Structure 1
Amino acid sequence: MPTAMSDSSAPVTSAPVSAPVTLNPLRWPDPLRWLVLGARDMMAAPGVALFYGTWFWGMALLLGWVFQARPEYTMSFASGCLLVGPFLAMGLYDTSRRREQGLAPDLGESLTCWDRHLGSMGMLVLVLVVLELLWGRASLVVFAVFFNTGMPSTTGVVQAVFNPGNWQFVAVYLLVGSVFAALVFSSMVVSIPMILDRDTDALTAGIASMRVVVENPGVMLLWGLLITALVALSLFAWGAGLLVVGPVLGHASWHAYRAAVAAPTAPLAPAQAPQSAG
């Protein structure tokens, strides 16, 4: 009389588990190396760089107009630029990735690279929009506290910033801006390239990005200062420097991700239990 086969004789399989995110230690010279690699990518795809650089320049011109027309909203708009900029740079990340793979740069591909990651990108956008709104509200509160007679004009803002008697306003304004800028930077420094490269979820990418900053605080601080300094210098001459600085930083950010996050290893084949003897 045939007997039923024991369950123990069936192969044991495990559900696929995403590989854990492994970080690489960073060194002090790394940020300068990322900039060099970013410049090489820009020169290898000048058409793509010009397209995205023009958008960055347009954002700078719009920021200048906001500062002249409604100075109290300058920090709010600047925070929005910090939000839009990395997403706009996603096309530059894609171009750098194509070069790594030996493929020719393609503007069309760079424009549509995000459409395969809508879910993760949408969640990340939601989190960053909340941060942007909080940043904007905090900036308005600072203005309201120190200028209780009404929002100052552009000239009034400039005079307030350079007036030694208003050092408290300047200190609080910069402190608020620095806190929110650090939050945005920490959550995005490698998250968007990681989503593009691995199609991971927004939570995993955001946590990995913050881990990079926490585990390499000095190098990441240097990287953030370099980004800030280059962007600030590029704002002279009506922001035209962003035609070059924007694409270079976009490509360099891809190389920062590559350096900070180790490539995933291929998952091992699931083990199988030995077949029982008949």
Structure 2
Amino acid sequence: MVPSVIRPAYDRPETAFGGAALRVRRISPADLVHCLKAGVADFLRHPSQLIFLALIYPIVGLFLARLSFGYDVLPLLFPLVAGFALLGPLTAVGLYELSRRREAGLPAGWDHVFALAHAPTILSIAVIGCALVATFLLWLLAALVIYELTLGGYVPASLASFAQEVFGTRAGWALIVFGNGVGLVFAVFAMSLSVVSLPLLVDRDVSTATAVRTSFSAVAANPAVMALWGLIVAALLALGALPFFVGLAVVLPILGHATWHLYRRLVV
């Protein structure tokens, strides 16, 4: 009699270990459209806006509480909003698992997401997560340095005066140009590091080196399409942030699910 195999709660296909990058595919803009549609479908199947509201609004609340004491924190508003793009892949790890299980025809619930804590790749996920947090903190530091170099010690008296200083002066436009240029560098690095590595670690038992190398290889093999994906992400995040950040509670999970399907299109 053949003994039955007891599968753990965290159930996924076995793969080989190693440090070499996995093979990646070239994709087209049509693949991005497919990924977004699949991301919307997964979100409607597993709505998670309340969880993302719980993640977003403590940060927003702290910022607004500090803003009530003065407008000197206004220069941090844009870097903080942009930081959602840098940290988004880390907050979406649980969504990758939901999409993976749905795709595989397995039961998909939040108990399975919590089972990720017992995944053999959890330390690798944590390492990449720490790298993303460090990237976010370095971005905030760089943004403050650029602000000091362009606008000096200017402390806005109001939101209107801050907008006038940024959009109505040469120094303000220098802040916009240099700030967005440096931010683009951080964003490209964060996307290249995480866009494939985190969903890959959720899906397969590979090393940190394999996950990271595969992620950078996928971006390098599809520079134009991945640049378009970055623009789509930035546009959706900006759209979600407009109604007082409420839209991010929908945009972030949709992008998280869509990133899973993007990974599936990219990696052989």
Q: Kindly indicate whether the alpha-carbon contact (under 8 Å) linking 1:66 and 1:74 is maintained by their aligned counterparts in 2.
A: no
Runs of 4+ off more than 6 Å:
none
Q: Kindly indicate whether the alpha-carbon contact (under 8 Å) linking 2:27 and 2:266 is maintained by their aligned counterparts in 1.
A: yes
- The 5 A counterparts of 1:190-269 are 190-262=196-268
Amino acid paired to 1:160: E
- Listed one character per residue, the Cα deviations across residues 208-229 of structure 1 (whole Å, up to 9, x for unaligned) are 1111111101110111111111
- Listed one character per residue, the Cα deviations across residues 104-136 of structure 1 (whole Å, up to 9, x for unaligned) are 320121133244233202221332233223222
Q: Which stretch has the larger CA shift, 198-207 or 27-36?
A: 198-207
Amino acid paired to 1:211: S
Specify the structure having the higher radius of gyration (Cα): 1
Amino acid paired to 1:161: V
Which of 107, 110, 113 does residue 110 from structure 1 map onto? 113
**Partner SS for 2:152:** coil
Q: Kindly indicate whether the alpha-carbon contact (under 8 Å) linking 2:87 and 2:132 is maintained by their aligned counterparts in 1.
A: no
Amino acid paired to 1:194: L
Q: Which stretch has the larger CA shift, 56-65 or 173-182?
A: 56-65
Number of residue pairs aligned between Structure 1 and Structure 2:
245
* Residue 130, structure 1, aligned to residue 134, structure 2: yes
1:61 corresponds in structure 2 to: 60
Amino acid paired to 1:230: L
Q: Which stretch has the larger CA shift, 212-221 or 164-173?
A: 164-173
1:4 corresponds in structure 2 to: none
1:35 corresponds in structure 2 to: 36
Q: Distance in 1 between matches of 2:66 and 2:184?
A: 19
What is the percentage of aligned positions where both structures have the same residue? 32
Amino acid paired to 2:137: L
Offset, 1:85: 2.3
Q: Kindly indicate whether the alpha-carbon contact (under 8 Å) linking 2:116 and 2:122 is maintained by their aligned counterparts in 1.
A: no
Which of 157, 162, 168 does residue 163 from structure 1 map onto? 168
Structure 1 alignment gaps of length 5 or more: 1-15, 263-278
**Partner SS for 1:29:** helix
Q: Distance in 1 between matches of 2:234 and 2:247?
A: 13
For residues 171 and 134 of structure 1, do their structure 2 counterparts lie closer, same or farther at Cα, with a shift above 3 Å needed?
same
Q: Which stretch has the larger CA shift, 242-251 or 69-78?
A: 69-78
Offset, 1:138: 1.2
Structure 2 alignment gaps of length 5 or more: 1-15
1:147 corresponds in structure 2 to: 151
**Partner SS for 2:25:** coil
Q: TM-score, normalised by structure 2?
A: 0.81
Q: Distance in 2 between matches of 1:225 and 1:78?
A: 15
Q: Kindly indicate whether the alpha-carbon contact (under 8 Å) linking 2:85 and 2:233 is maintained by their aligned counterparts in 1.
A: no
Amino acid paired to 1:255: H
Q: Kindly indicate whether the alpha-carbon contact (under 8 Å) linking 1:56 and 1:242 is maintained by their aligned counterparts in 2.
A: no
Q: Kindly indicate whether the alpha-carbon contact (under 8 Å) linking 1:31 and 1:256 is maintained by their aligned counterparts in 2.
A: yes
Offset, 1:53: 3.6
Q: Distance in 2 between matches of 1:216 and 1:139?
A: 29
Amino acid paired to 1:234: G
For residues 254 and 121 of structure 1, do their structure 2 counterparts lie closer, same or farther at Cα, with a shift above 3 Å needed?
same
2:12 corresponds in structure 1 to: none
**Partner SS for 1:181:** helix
Amino acid paired to 1:107: W
